[in-house]
Amino acid sequence: MELAGRVVLVTGASRGIGAATCTALTRRGAVVVAAGRDETALAEVAASSTVVADAADPAAAPALVAAAVDRHGRLDAVVANAGLGWAGEFAAMDPARITELVDVNLRAPMLLARAALPVLRRPGALVLVTSIAGLVGVPGETVYSVTKAGLETFATLLREETDGVTVSTVAPGAVATGFFVARGVPYDRRFPRPIPPSRVAEAVVEAIATGRERRVEPRWLAFPARLSAAAPRTYRALARRFS
């Protein structure tokens, strides 16, 4: 897909990967609709228009799609990026937080896809930002891993039902954003080092442009993802040894 002049809706755009994606798309000439909860932060994002919305609200998805079409007359691509994390023992996790992660990380992208597919111009693109945690599973981030794994499965099945719309996932590893502080536990590993959100943003832009089904960023993390899928016991043993 040629990005110049295309209308692209990006959720979770207030900061981090979402804001970086808006910048990358704007540089390519796209008409960007940035959606997020933080109105003040959205005002600083490179976008043609902004919409304040909470992804956890079931009514947000149709409202976002309608806003994009009403303001710009069309919708060519959607980037479902909004997400939340949480780290700690599952048994100690507040039930309300479990619900929040499922709502934002899994239900919201599904509802957004449902609202967007009937109006997306053909050829169109849907990109779901998942996580390496959804491909390998991370102990101590059980609910987060499960929601992202569910999003990967959703993308796989949705491809079988779409005509003229590519469905892609971008699965980043650790990214240098405020995500880890917000989840309650800072990132303290020496390896792998967090990558800048701009690298993930470029992967998202590439997914829209090419329709590639999955991109893991950094790319070397695709190897442990494949190992986890092909030999889960071996992967888990190695992960416990080197984590």
Domain ranges of the chain: 7-242
Structure confidence at residue 184 (pLDDT): 77
144 is catalytic: yes
157-208 per-position pLDDT tens digit: 999 999 999 999 999 999 988 888 777 788 877 778 899 999 999 999 999 9
Average pLDDT (11-26) is: 97
What pLDDT sits at residue 239? 85
In a 10 Å sphere around its CB, with 0-12 CB exposed, 13-18 middle and 19+ buried, how is residue 58 labelled?
A: exposed
Q: Catalytic one among 60, 115, 144, 149? A: 144
Supply the pTM of this predicted model.
0.94
Select the more confidently predicted residue: 238 or 190: 238
Separation CA 108–CA 84 (nearest Å): 11
Mean residue pLDDT across the chain: 95
DSSP 10: E
Q: Does domain 7-242 have CATH number 3.40.50.720?
A: yes
pLDDT at 243: 64
Confidence of residue 225 (pLDDT cuts 50, 70, 90): very high
Residue range 109-127, pLDDT digits in tens: 999 999 999 999 999 999 9
Lowest mean pLDDT among 64-68, 75-79, 236-240: 236-240
Residues 6 or more apart whose Cβ sits within 8 Å of residue 2: 209
